Structure 1
């Protein structure tokens, strides 16, 4: 056996081992080169087999007849851009006259088989331009967030999408969101990633955890207010409504609507105010909404008060810089009056594994039937896998990187100095003590009563 043969066998064995044990490393070393050659060589024939070509135009046929040349072949979409990434390939295609973006989306599964890729998704960039994102391996099996992240004010990375791109939670684009998921579906890990991402920003965190605080109270050093029972939650929500009304008064006083002020500088929300006057934004995390909405009484004043406050915050809170993150296992009409009105205000939707189709419909039934089907197909063995969508009808499969409670606690402790003290929420701020035996024992401060 020659030296070249031995070297070739070693390379093939190393490639096979990497593909089995470390698919990401295999893609970066061998897969990206092989996939690039495969796509470029097969491109025209694959597009023709998938019905994504157009016949030659009449003038080209006439010119071929006049010059006695062969009949022109059908033309596939033009490749405007070809870019390898850390998870796959990105092709930007220019559609031919008569082609539609829906044709490319409908052929995504056939393109996946033809190009021997793990997944293919398409989106319309603009009229006549479609972007194909191909993944070379299962990026959601072992989530690895990229080193470079497009973080900005009120925009945090929380998960990885199935096409290899990062899923961001952008509060200025989607102010309020609903997260559903059964027990052990990964909902808590998603919430920890969200809190850890927000911890480094100039934002106030407010938590309502009616499971006696077991989920949010370990992160208390970064929270400006916390409630662990419905009674305290009702008072806390009323305080948030009062803060919202005060912020609106500030915006009205600083609207600057004189004729000399350009339209772009007229203040309509906190982000139009000067930086020295802008109130700190508030993110409200409700860990289990059913504990707030369920009641054994037919007409429960406390329950009606809580739902009314949540609905008001969802309808009016965006301009005042108050954003809602509602989590729960179910979010249907059985929770009582007003719950459907609240759900309609929650633009962002994320559903982890659910136990029945009805729960998936609570998240996506009024958005996309395809997202409902994708949510009920999430296997029990893949904790953290979820379907994320919004009111536009678009949706993606996502999975958050595993973040332990200790990691989230360490992050919150590191940025504890960024926790703003809000006067309206001072009675609900958790008391923190420390000792050599218990570094961060927490105790709940009861609200001040008259």
Structure 2
């Protein structure tokens, strides 16, 4: 067979393509490329005829010979493989790599007949412009994509619930994220919720123990009990927000929060209205005396709570909250959160709470300068100021956070606003009951300022 000249050999060793002028027609190009192949005909050492068929295949198989120069200068030919075009695909090419003896001048064995090194798994080939196809760069696969074989032209995208590992050679399940009890933030919020509920329980015990004293009886002690119990539930309902969201917990989160806060705010509104009515009822000829008593206060609490309960029922029957696997919020992770379902119903529940808080604050603010015998309005004004400040600050903070920290901000707002109501309304009374018993007398409360 004819040998390649030095130029052609140099081109192939550097993987350079043979450029054919585009001015020639395709049939002419084929005729030129295969001109020598059609005329190849010779006999080998075994007197076998060697030629190319019409399909440009060799008419017979051949052996692959490794030429080795022995130390004594003798040329030795070692058969290291064979090729038979008529054998099966698994048997047509056979080579024994261990039998090959490479020249000592090679710096790498086996020598690489490539322009670029192979791209390992985790990388893909990027062909260099204006260079042969065997010249390429290896670039890492993008996040969320992998290549599990060498010299891959493109990376494979992982499934939606999987992500690429650090080496980008295999897909692994995404990390599940939610506010759990085991992490530091969850433990801190759980501890604060339990501590506040214990403080609430102690204050409730003090009010029950001193239930017949003037400070406790002032402004309807029954409403004070209702307010303390609802605040205790508010502290404990924040625990529902911690842990893996489930269908039941997602439903209980905002509905329990909405109901308990509506009871708390309606109780504060009832206490404020009681203060105003008690002051005006003491005036001569006042017609508010017949409205004095606990009936009007309980009616306010019951009607407001019933309205909020109806809103929650409409929410649950129309589009209740449900667990949602958010795969876009966190890179390489799945955020499990509670989807509110009907956003209209959710905003209606929050809007009614805002309405109760506004009415309570305005009423308490307008009655803050009443005589000292009815000075609970001052405490309610401060408590509602804290409550409204917390939730007004909560809105931009909640919208600017993501993931489990959004839930943590919501829990903090619940606990902070509940603690504000508990501290501003009941702590001054507890200090007077325990530390200043002289103030816990009818004579002190009825004296003029």
Structure (1/2) with the larger strand percentage: 1
Query: RCO higher in 1 or 2 (8 Å CA, sep ≥ 6)?
Result: 1
Same fold, TM exceeding 0.5? no
Q: What is the TM-score with the length of structure 1 in the denominator?
A: 0.21
Determine which structure has more spread, i.e. the larger CA radius of gyration.
2
Higher normalized helix content (fraction of residues): 2
